[in-house]
A and B are shown apart, each in its own frame.
Chain A
Amino acid sequence: MGRTAQRTEPVLYNRLAVLRTERGLSRQALAEALDVNYQTIGYLERGEYNPSLELALRAAEYFAVPVDAIFSRKPFTPMSEQLYGGGRG
């Protein structure tokens, strides 16, 4: 999950890589769907670029999930933990 590494910007975590992989999309395909350069997807996933509100909303619309399911100011808990709880085995 991406985390912002730039010192001047607030930290913004995201689940773009998880959602993209889950849907079997390449960065290029997602970039075309969101109308951005494919490298921008890489920077977003690495947390080295914080999207504008408009791009965040476009991503949420594309994945058909609420925007706070993709971007958060706090680290995300792993999907498996959310789905199956914190227990092991």
Chain B
Amino acid sequence: MARIDGLSQRTRRLIAVASLAGLPAMFGWSSFWIKTSAPGLLWGPVSFALILATALGSFVLYTYVRDRANRNANLDERQRRLRDQAWVLCYEVLSAVVIAAVAVISVMVLGFGRTVTLDGAVVGGLAICVGVLIPLLPVAAMAWVEPNAPLEA
């Protein structure tokens, strides 16, 4: 636990990106794998590695941040300011993702005349990603914005 508390900002940022990207990448990889003739043996280990990135990363981030991203946590003024910064970043990322998704779908449908099909697999994957990543986002943002801790006196 002490090692997690002492993680540098750079390491925390890498873990945050890996955690947030792991699960969507797994669904992306699965969709890619179904449409190609990639060997079946490859699907399991790659998917497992990507899920593990999200699972392990989430564990590390939740352990590092604890309740500091919580709006009702007992924090001092510096920690409150960091939490507010993290929430701003959180909404910025969320807005960017929604805008990017709408833009991609709009270009595909209006620009190239393609149809977007929302079958059970796509909706299920989206629901899992949203359910796991939305609660993780403020925690990841908190781990992202916190500077390196000062050395002990």
Residues in A lying within 8 Å of B, measured CB to CB: 17, 20, 26-27, 35-37, 39-40, 42-43, 45-46, 48-49, 51-52, 54-55
Structural contact, B150 and A52, CB atoms closer than 8 A: no
Residues of chain A within 8 A of B79, CB atoms compared: 37, 40
**CB < 8 Å A-B pair total:** 37
Q: B119 within 8 Å of A by Cβ?
A: no
Q: How large is the interface on B (under 10, 10 to 19, 20 to 34, 35 or more residues)?
A: 10 to 19
Q: Do B153 and A52 touch (CB < 8 A)?
A: no
Looking at chain B's contact residues, is the secondary structure mostly helix, strand, loop, or mixed?
Answer: loop
Q: Are B153 and A43 in contact (CB under 8 A)?
A: no
Contact in complex: A40, B151 (CB < 8 Å):
no
Q: Which residue of B lies closest to A31 (CB)?
A: B76
B residues neighboring A (CB under 8 Å):
75-79, 147, 149-153
Excluding A26-B153, A43-B147, 15 further A-B contacts by CB distance (< 8 Å) are A17-B153, A36-B76, A36-B77, A37-B79, A40-B76, A40-B77, A42-B152, A42-B153, A43-B78, A43-B150, A45-B150, A45-B153, A48-B147, A48-B150, A54-B77
Give chain B residues whose Cβ lies under 8 Å from the Cβ of A27: 152-153
Query: In the complex, what residues of B have CB within 8 A of residue A43's CB?
Result: 78, 147, 150
Contact: B78 with A46, CB < 8 Å?
Answer: no
Q: CA separation between A28 and B78, bound complex, in Å?
A: 16
C-alpha spacing A45/B150, complex, angstroms: 9
Closest to B148 in A: A48
Q: Write the chain B residue with the least CB distance to A39.
A: B149
Give Cα A52 to B79, complex, Å.
12
Measured CB to CB, the closest approach of chain A to B88, in angstroms, equals 14
Sample of 29 A–B contacts (CB below 8 Å)? A26-B153, A27-B152, A35-B76, A36-B76, A36-B77, A36-B78, A37-B75, A37-B78, A37-B79, A39-B149, A39-B150, A40-B77, A40-B78, A40-B79, A42-B149, A42-B150, A42-B151, A42-B152, A43-B78, A43-B150, A45-B150, A45-B153, A46-B150, A48-B147, A48-B150, A51-B77, A52-B77, A54-B77, A55-B77
